[in-house]
Amino acid sequence: MKNTKIKEKVNWPVTILLLIGLITVLFPLYMTVVIAFKQPSEMTNSIAGILSLPKHWSFSNFAQAIKVTDFWHSLLNSILITGITMVISIVIHSLIGYAISRNMQRKKSYRFVYYYIVSGMFVPFAILMMPLVKQTAELHIDNMIGVIILYVVFYMPMNVLLYTGYLKNIPIALEEAARVDGATTWQTYWKIVFPMMSPMHATVAVLTALGTWNDVMTPLVIMSGSGMTTLPLAQMTFQTQFGTNYNLAFASYLLALLPILIFYIFAQKKIIGGVVNGAVK
């Protein structure tokens, strides 16, 4: 009997789209790395001069960017804001998602609360900006604490949506068995349900961390008078009315990218699991 080989057909439209997407992602990253290692004298107006590799790979731009932006102080502020926001969001938003998912089919009030919270995704920050600035100033939380509170509220709609969808995959029979054994609702949640949501915790953590880490507008309008800066705010020092120091700016961007990139690499497996399981009812 002859061995018959099955020829696999290449889906060229999809392949071309993937290649275009890959180039779209890699080209800006290539530009960032190349310009960060170049000296200002190597920056010419020609396209070839901008795209060419540095003649001498030097870390002087990174050292100067660390000094100009007060990098370590700004990094600490960004880590504190992002970390605290992430932890509070996981705890509070998962509790809200659990309460809604287990009651929205029986009680219309929970369904109304669900739609009310999720509708917050459609409210642009520009509409809320000025009232929030005034309210945080009157409450004396126009500082890091106020920024963290606002982030927890801003990311609540998306996170509650994710948790509610994911909890539909966790059988209620597990909770009923725990109650038969004498566990309270609170014990059942923390000892059984909460650990089972670890893939979604990782997904929520990364989405919340990415948005918080890269945000400029909220710290800018809330903490403008506090003297504290985050990494995105510190990087604005390279932009003046007379121009932009691209070499230092891109070096600073790479430094700010590394912590969140490392965090994503460690959490990516659980993120994929959370997205896949949350998409299947």
pTM of the predicted model, to two decimals? 0.80
Mean pLDDT for the chain? 82
Q: Is the pLDDT of residue 227 over 60?
A: yes
**CA atoms within 13 Å, Cβ hemisphere of 115:** 5
Phi first, then psi, for residue 243 (nearest 5°) are: 150, -170
Q: Is the pLDDT of residue 231 over 80?
A: yes
Q: Is the pLDDT of residue 181 over 60?
A: yes
Phi first, then psi, for residue 83 (nearest 5°) are: -65, -45
Mean pLDDT of 19-36: 84
Report the pLDDT value the prediction gives residue 242, as an integer from 0 to 100: 43
User: What confidence tens digit (pLDDT) does each residue in 94-115 have?
Assistant: 999 999 998 888 888 889 999 9
Mean pLDDT of 161-176: 87
Which band of pLDDT confidence, cut at 50, 70 and 90, is reported for residue 241?
very low
Residue 185 neighbours by CB under 8 Å, 6+ apart: 179
Rg of the chain over all Cα atoms, to the nearest angstrom:
24
Report the pLDDT value the prediction gives residue 13, as an integer from 0 to 100: 83
Report the pLDDT value the prediction gives residue 100, as an integer from 0 to 100: 92
Rounded distance between C-alpha atoms, residue 280 and residue 167, angstroms: 11
Report the pLDDT value the prediction gives residue 281, as an integer from 0 to 100: 44
Which band of pLDDT confidence, cut at 50, 70 and 90, is reported for residue 152?
very high
Range from 4-18, 125-139, 199-213 carrying the lowest mean pLDDT: 4-18
DSSP 73-99: HHHHHHHHHHHHHHHHHHHHHHHHHHH
Report the pLDDT value the prediction gives residue 150, as an integer from 0 to 100: 93
Mean pLDDT of 178-191: 86
Rounded distance between C-alpha atoms, residue 24 and residue 114, angstroms: 37
Q: Is the pLDDT of residue 81 over 90?
A: yes
Mean pLDDT of 232-246: 69
Q: Is the pLDDT of residue 29 over 60?
A: yes
